[in-house]
Amino acid sequence: MKSIEETARSVISRRDKELRRIRKRNRRFAAALSAGATVFAIATAMIVTGRDSGNKDAASAVNSSLSDENAGTETVVNAPETDIIWMNEGYGDEFQRHSALVASDEALLFGGRDGSISIQIDFGEKVLSAASADSLIAFSFNASKGTAAGTDKMQEKLSNECYLLSGRADEALFTAAERLEKDKNITNAEAMARATGDSEYLRLVGEYREKAEEYERYLRSVHYERNKDTIETFEKLGFTVISKGTDDDFDRYLCFGSGGAVLAGTKEQIDALSLEDFEGVEHITLYGSSKTDLPRIYGEPKRMVHLREDSKLTDELLAAYEENGGAALKVRIQAGWDDDLWGEWVDPHVYAYEAIGLHSEEEFNEAGPDILTSEKVDLFYEVLNKYTYWVNEERFGSFFKEGELIEAREYAWDLIAELTCERAQELCNNKCIAYITLPDLNESEGIESVIALDE
């Protein structure tokens, strides 16, 4: 074993080597970006925002862009020492369905504003953790003023070698698009395209959709092959595999980017699951819903039990199952790493308990009205909401109707699992349901796949 001094020397040496590699890559990337500037020509009213991370030119651009009078200026890209991240920002809720539309030559990022800020942050971390390798561009288009705060928050989450560049749209354009969307009942993408008069935008929308679907087909085939044995194992155990990579509606999303199967079985069958049944599965996340984090979907407060194991089904999983009375057990198994490297997944309840001076669910449950005053209850939910990602039924439902693939893969993934379970439950007359998502491609493989398809 190395001495601590040797470790320190090795760390610094490796760091320097890595930084040299990054600088070299970024110089190459900046040149490529310059050459490919026409790709961004559709962003007619964009300015650069971002944050200082050591590059004075970029920092200067960032600072000057923060004033309103700069809206509408030309795009400035001057951050040769950095990765450059372009955020594609839709507006309001519509972002959820329509904004992830434009792929650059290298990769895609997208974000939103307002309620979707937390999602932006998740995206940023996810993609960044996936992007330890090569240059990453996401496209920014027609953001609103409201985006600035979210953008800034996201930038804070990004590593220092990456910049977030986002645009701020001409307010009139924004309003026009909004009106179009409302009056004509058309999608945000179409509205924006019409408002800008930019046929290129629509073309890219279509192009991306094709690409996404191709990507989906690719992933599905990979996942199904990879998971076939496990699916068959469960079939042998007597489970009904409701979905395993076929073409029905919900399965389409289930399989996109995840691969998986929905299994329906009786309580006895689920009880009979053993560690051996999960051999080879590397990561298990259990959702047992006695309460839930998704009140807008289910209509009443529930709690989502979130447990995970790295390699095996354990008694913890079974205990959680018992805790839920054996009903509607939902098991999600995922080989893919669902935490970002920089992520700190903490049950939002932890923050909420702390905010009111408590430390655990038990304390909360046992607290009388002298402790849980109405002010504290309000504070509890305020904090809980702050750290919880809420989704409303309308948005979620429309997702399925309109089928934005990217969302399926990225942020709605867990929700899809939930909804799919509900569907599966209906199909099985409310027998116990195990929902199992089988080993996933990791994010970087996914990104690389997109790039490969581009080529």
Partner 1 sequence: MAGSCDYEKYCREGDDEALERIIREFRDGLILYLRTFTGDIHTAEDIAEDTFVKIAVKKPRYNGKASFKTWLYRIAGNMAIDHLRRRRESVPIDDCGELTLDDISLEESYIRDEERIAVHRALGKLPGDYRQILWLVYFEDMQVREAAAVMGRSVHAAETLIYRARRRMKEELEKVL
Q: Between residues 5 and 375, which has the closer beta carbon with respect to partner 1?
A: 5
What φ, ψ does residue 261 adopt, rounded to 5°?
Answer: -150, 145
End-to-end CA distance of the chain: 44
By CB under 8 A, name the one of 203, 232, 345, 430 that touches partner 1: 345
By CB under 8 A, name the one of 105, 232, 248, 361 that touches partner 1: 361
Distance CA(440)–CA(59), nearest Å, equals 38
**CA atoms in the 13 A half-sphere facing the CB of 304:** 24
User: Among positive and negative, which fits the CA dihedral 372, 376, 377, 380?
Assistant: negative
Question: What six digits make up the tokens of 161?
Answer: 């070698």
By CB under 8 A, name the one of 226, 308, 376, 431 that touches partner 1: 308
| Contact call for residue 312 and partner 1 (CB under 8 A) | yes
How far apart are CB 18 and partner 1 at their closest, in Å?
A: 5
The dihedral region occupied by 284, where left means phi > 0, alpha psi between -120 and 50, and beta the remainder, is: beta
| Contact call for residue 335 and partner 1 (CB under 8 A) | yes
Distance CA(343)–CA(330), nearest Å, equals 24
Question: What six digits make up the tokens of 106?
Answer: 């290298």
Distance CA(142)–CA(169), nearest Å, equals 4
DSSP state of 411: T
Q: Between residues 342 and 402, which has the closer beta carbon with respect to partner 1?
A: 342
| Contact call for residue 366 and partner 1 (CB under 8 A) | no
Query: Which amino acid does the sequence have at 143?
Result: A
Binding letters toward partner 1, positions 261-300, x by CB under 8 A: ---------------------xx-----------------
| Contact call for residue 133 and partner 1 (CB under 8 A) | no
| Contact call for residue 12 and partner 1 (CB under 8 A) | yes
| Contact call for residue 319 and partner 1 (CB under 8 A) | yes
| Contact call for residue 310 and partner 1 (CB under 8 A) | yes
| Contact call for residue 344 and partner 1 (CB under 8 A) | yes
Residue closest to 278 by CA, chosen among 249, 248, 310: 310
User: Among positive and negative, which fits the CA dihedral 350, 353, 358, 362?
Assistant: negative
| Contact call for residue 249 and partner 1 (CB under 8 A) | no
Window 202-231: residues binding partner 1 (CB under 8 A): none
By CB under 8 A, name the one of 98, 113, 126, 157 that touches partner 1: 157
Q: Between residues 372 and 427, which has the closer beta carbon with respect to partner 1?
A: 372
What is the Cα 2 distance to its own chain's centre?
A: 39
Residue closest to 134 by CA, chosen among 25, 282, 32: 25
How far apart are CB 45 and partner 1 at their closest, in Å?
A: 30
| Contact call for residue 60 and partner 1 (CB under 8 A) | no
The residues binding partner 1 (CB under 8 A) are 1-2, 4, 7-8, 10-12, 14-15, 18-19, 22, 156-157, 159-161, 282-283, 305-312, 314-316, 319, 335-337, 339, 341-347, 349-350, 353, 359-362, 442
